[in-house]
Amino acid sequence: MIQLPCPLCGLRSAHEFVCMGEHSERPAQPEALDNAAWAAHLYNRDNPDAPVLEMWWHLHGCRSWLRVRRDPHSQNILGCETAGLGP
């Protein structure tokens, strides 16, 4: 079980978090996208064999939503920061 360096709580076991998966930034103007582009944002994810941006939620901790950059090979956490200004 990997550990995540929560910026507020410190290094915590992944048990405390809920992994929300690979992140796709919500387009600023959804109406401006056609159906195909909107569907791509909703459903398509790159799932690359490379470090990927994921969203994790620290449910059993500070309840921050965290932007986590994780390398799926080494499981190294390359970045972990709060999504917004904080909880």
Q: Interface residues with another protein (CB under 8 A)?
A: 1-3, 13, 18, 20, 26, 30-31, 33, 35, 38, 42-43, 55, 57, 59, 63-65, 73-75, 82-87
Q: Rg of the chain over CA atoms, in angstroms?
A: 14
User: SS3 of 36, please?
Assistant: helix
- Whether the Cβ atoms of residue 27 and residue 41 lie closer than 8 Å to each other: yes
Nearer to another protein, 48 or 84 (CB): 84
Nearer to another protein, 10 or 87 (CB): 87
Nearer to another protein, 47 or 75 (CB): 75
